[in-house]
């Protein structure tokens, strides 16, 4: 019997984890990526393995809070009027997904997926020989506003987080945070069973190297289109090559919708753009043993990587290739200055597109239009968090195994 084959389209964390899981499962895998890692959301995010986020953002709570969350009034959500035609249809679908019954179904679907996320990361780090690139010591949420901090902490520790847990920070922990930040937080919450990737670029490099050493093949090319021939999907590359296999996996992030549309129809995927600032960091700025710190009052999170300190924030619904809004970076600069972060360092700016579906659940499954077509995309701000478990689920599907997590709620044909 010949060895089964797979082609994975997409070079972010989800595509990389899927390629590795397939190759390790005995499927001869070709991983196709255009080789521009800095354009991928996987490169620019906070590196936070956010297992506490078991509640989809498509919720009544999100809708009720939206007016005060808008960027124009100081919040993190950007809805540029020039892109109204782009985000309004998505917004109407989000309204439908925010109904209580849909929200509860989304929570029930997301909870087991998130419970499997950090253990899957641990297995993957061991498999590729890079356990030092994974931290599993949780994170902090620091609250600054004197009048609301106590209630915010009470609400935070009373919330269910599934696999993750939360408690009020000890006096010693709060003193550590107050000494570290110029704003001197009023209160804090300590999360456990969450994690962090120590160096995103090095992680992707090590994963790619392990994939090659295991016999996987990496091709640097852009996928122009998917076609359907006799019930099988084939990828057309910018090199002119047509590629097919027993399993064709679409894990191309925001580019997945354009690839799939000719085969399955319109996919309601939107570019949820995020911004970050990156600065070189020293032990004096942020010690290596201090985990990520979220600042809910600012809707930002700060993460120490191997050589840099990163502040990420904002949710901007815009056309993928639209020019960045420099006001977002200006506000991040103000937040960084207020917190006293890396004040003497040059801060590098980045913007990237999270691939988001209206119900804030990913699409993971097998297409009904082509027997060899699998998909794994739409992970929104949970791409890094869910990448390792998604790779395992893709391999389960390809190998005919019962998926480790029920996948019916993530079927793309739900739209």
| Confidence (pTM) | 0.96
Domain topology for 5-43+201-267+360-414:
FAD/NAD(P)-binding domain (3.50.50)
Domain with CATH 3.30.9.10 in the chain: 50-107+118-195+270-355
Q: How many residues make up the chain in this entry? A: 415
Q: How far apart are CA 398 and CA 27, in angstroms?
A: 8
**Could you give the residue range(s) of every CATH 3.50.50.60 domain in the chain?**
5-43+201-267+360-414
Give me the pLDDT at residue 200, please.
Answer: 93
For 339, list phi and psi in degrees, rounded to 5.
Answer: -85, -10
Average pLDDT along the chain = 95
Angle of the 100-115 helix axis to the 383-399 helix axis, nearest 10: 80
Query: Structurally, what CATH architecture does the domain formed by 50-107+118-195+270-355 represent?
Result: 2-Layer Sandwich (3.30)
CB 41 within 8 A of CB 385: no
What is the Cα gyration radius of the chain?
A: 21
CA angle 139, 299, 51 (to 5 degrees): 40
pLDDT of residue 157: 98
Tell me how crowded residue 306 is: count the other CB atoms within 10 A of its CB.
12
Task: State the pLDDT at residue 284.
Answer: 80
DSSP state of 74: T
Residues of the chain with pLDDT under 70: 1, 36-41, 343-344
Tens digits of residue pLDDT in 310-345: 999 999 999 998 999 999 999 999 999 999 987 667
């Amino acid at each position: 019997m010949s060895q089964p084959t797979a082609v994975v389209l997409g070079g972010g964390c989800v595509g990389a984890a899927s390629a590795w899981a397939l190759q390790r499962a005995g499927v001869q895998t070709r991983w196709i990526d255009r080789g521009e890692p800095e354009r991928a959301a996987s490169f620019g995010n906070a590196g936070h393995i956010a297992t506490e986020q078991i509640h989809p953002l498509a919720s009544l709570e999100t809708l009720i809070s939206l007016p005060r969350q808008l960027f124009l009034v100081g919040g993190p959500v950007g809805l540029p009027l020039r892109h109204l035609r782009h985000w309004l249809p998505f917004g109407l679908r989000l309204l439908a997904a925010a109904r209580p019954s849909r929200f509860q179904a989304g929570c029930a679907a997301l909870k087991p997926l998130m419970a499997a996320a950090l253990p899957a990361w641990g297995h993957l780090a061991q498999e590729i020989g890079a356990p030092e690139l994974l931290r599993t010591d949780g994170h902090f949420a620091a609250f600054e506003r004197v009048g609301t901090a106590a209630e915010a902490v009470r609400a935070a520790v009373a919330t269910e987080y599934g696999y993750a847990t939360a408690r009020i920070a000890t006096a010693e922990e709060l003193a550590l945070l107050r000494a570290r930040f110029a704003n001197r937080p009023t209160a804090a919450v300590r999360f456990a069973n969450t994690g962090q990737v120590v160096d995103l670029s090095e992680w992707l490099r090590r994963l790619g190297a392990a994939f090659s050493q295991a016999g996987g093949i990496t091709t640097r090319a852009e996928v122009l289109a998917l076609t359907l021939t006799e019930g099988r999907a084939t990828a057309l590359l910018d090199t002119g090559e047509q590629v097919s296999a027993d399993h064709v996996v679409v894990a191309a992030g925001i580019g997945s919708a354009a690839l799939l549309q000719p085969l399955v129809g319109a996919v309601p995927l939107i570019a949820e753009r995020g911004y970050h600032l990156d600065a070189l960091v020293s032990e004096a700025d942020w010690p290596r043993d201090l985990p990520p710190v979220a600042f809910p009052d600012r809707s930002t999170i700060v993460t120490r990587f191997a050589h840099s300190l990163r502040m990420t924030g904002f949710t901007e619904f815009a056309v993928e290739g639209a020019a960045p809004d420099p006001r977002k970076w200006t506000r991040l600069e103000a937040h960084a200055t207020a917190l006293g972060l890396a004040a003497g360092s040059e801060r590098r700016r980045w913007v990237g597109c999270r691939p988001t579906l209206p119900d804030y659940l990913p699409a993971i499954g097998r297409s009904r239009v082509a027997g060899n077509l699998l998909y794994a995309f739409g992970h929104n701000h949970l791409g890094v968090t869910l990448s390792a478990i998604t790779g395992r689920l893709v391999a389960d599907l390809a190998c005919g195994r019962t998926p480790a997590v029920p996948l019916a709620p993530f079927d793309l044909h739900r739209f």
